[in-house]
Amino acid sequence: ARRAAGPLGAAGRAVQRVALSSGSQDAAHDLETLRKHKVTHILNVAYGVQNAFLNDFIYKTISILDLPETDITSYFPECFEFIEKAKIQDGVVLVHCNAGVSRAAAIVIGFLMNSERLSFASAFSLVKSARPSICPNPGFMEQLHKYQEQNIKANGSINDHD
């Protein structure tokens, strides 16, 4: 995971500290790479992908279908709780799906929007800079935009520093 820095300070540090990277099942099955990046926790949001190293990492598996009609935001509370627990333990989290472009990216973007109170655009940009191949499906993109609107209504503002 590339370290994020720059104008998004706190969010960049959140990505760095939690090593919230989205990745593919290949990354999740490469023990050497996981150890190199000091991963401690793995959030598997793929459908039908087995966890490879049960004795080496703390896993959470939530089978999410990569379909535009899947309500990705309904999985946010459970995913965010796992990430937050890892953060409290100074853990490093890999969030992965099959290809690492849609589901995992949407979860990480949503987490940054929630925990750092970022706009969708800022959270997307931050994750895209760390993993250029991300491309959440159109349904997830629409839901993330609505999630931003809900966050603004609930919290009154966002913390972007563009």
- For 71-88, the pLDDT digits (tens) are 999 999 999 999 999 989
- For 85-140, the pLDDT digits (tens) are 998 998 999 999 888 889 999 999 999 999 988 999 999 999 898 888 899 999 99
Give residue 66's Cα distance to chain centre: 15
- For 17-58, the pLDDT digits (tens) are 455 556 667 888 889 988 988 899 999 999 988 999 999 999
> How many domains does the structure of the chain reveal?
1
CATH number where 77 lies = 3.90.190.10
Domain that holds residue 18: 9-155
Asked if the structure places residue 101 within a domain, the reply is: yes
Q: State residue 15's pLDDT score.
A: 52
Asked if the structure places residue 3 within a domain, the reply is: no
Asked if the structure places residue 160 within a domain, the reply is: no
Burial of 161 (0-12, 13-18, 19+ CB in 10 A): exposed
Asked if the structure places residue 58 within a domain, the reply is: yes
Phi, psi of 18 (to 5 degrees): -90, -10
Angle CA(124)–CA(126)–CA(130) in degrees, nearest 5? 110
Whether 93 and 15 have beta carbons less than 8 Å apart is answered as no
Alpha helix ranges (H) inside 116-137: 120-130
Q: How many Cα atoms occupy the beta-carbon half-sphere of 101 within 13 Å?
A: 8
Q: State residue 156's pLDDT score.
A: 73
Catalytic residue among 39, 95, 97, 106: 97
* Residue 79 is among the residues annotated as catalytic for this protein: no
Asked if the structure places residue 1 within a domain, the reply is: no
**β-bridge pairing 58-61 and 93-96:** unpaired
Q: Which residues lie below 8 Å from residue 117, measured CB to CB, with a gap of 6+?
A: 151, 155, 157, 158, 159
Question: What is this structure's pTM?
Answer: 0.85
Q: Which residues lie below 8 Å from residue 83, measured CB to CB, with a gap of 6+?
A: 18, 20, 41, 43, 93, 95, 111, 115
Asked if the structure places residue 4 within a domain, the reply is: no
